[in-house]
Amino acid sequence: MDSEINPMLLSSFVGALSLFGAESLGKIEEITIKGLSIQMIIVNKFDLVLIAIMDKDFVKEDMREEAEKALDMFYHLYKNEISDSTDVSQFESFKKILYDQIVEYFNRINDDNAKKEIRDFGFFTEAIAKTRN
């Protein structure tokens, strides 16, 4: 997370949006915020919230599905430990699972980009192919 982003403010902001949604629009499932240098995707499932903060130029294919997958894994691993006054340090082991999911996502995106057919750009086609290898 960017060190300039205050986690307490972010948590309060997301909480306020969720409360607004519950009182005005119904349950909010996803929020996307685009700023100058970042994009945030906020996904709510099982009354859990996942906030993904990414560089705006980062490839975001299937990001909602990835966020839901992370929430599914977390919920199924810790559903018995989750409560309103939970000590979050007991979920520390989930960082490794989330890290592995992120690495898998990067690898899949990079593999997909490498496998895309290179269109014929005449003289530049060979140069484009070389930059992918």
Instruction: pLDDT band for 117, please (50, 70, 90 cuts).
Output: low
The token pair at 84 is: 């309103």
Mean of pLDDT values over 109-119:
64
What is the structure's pLDDT at 2?
45
The token pair at 35 is: 């700023």
User: Which domains does the chain carry?
Assistant: 7-132 (3.30.450)
Distances, alpha carbon 83 to alpha carbons 94, 118, 120, 122, in Å: 17, 51, 57, 61
Tens of pLDDT along 11-46?
788 778 777 777 777 766 667 666 667 777 788 888
Whether the predicted pLDDT of 1 surpasses 60: no
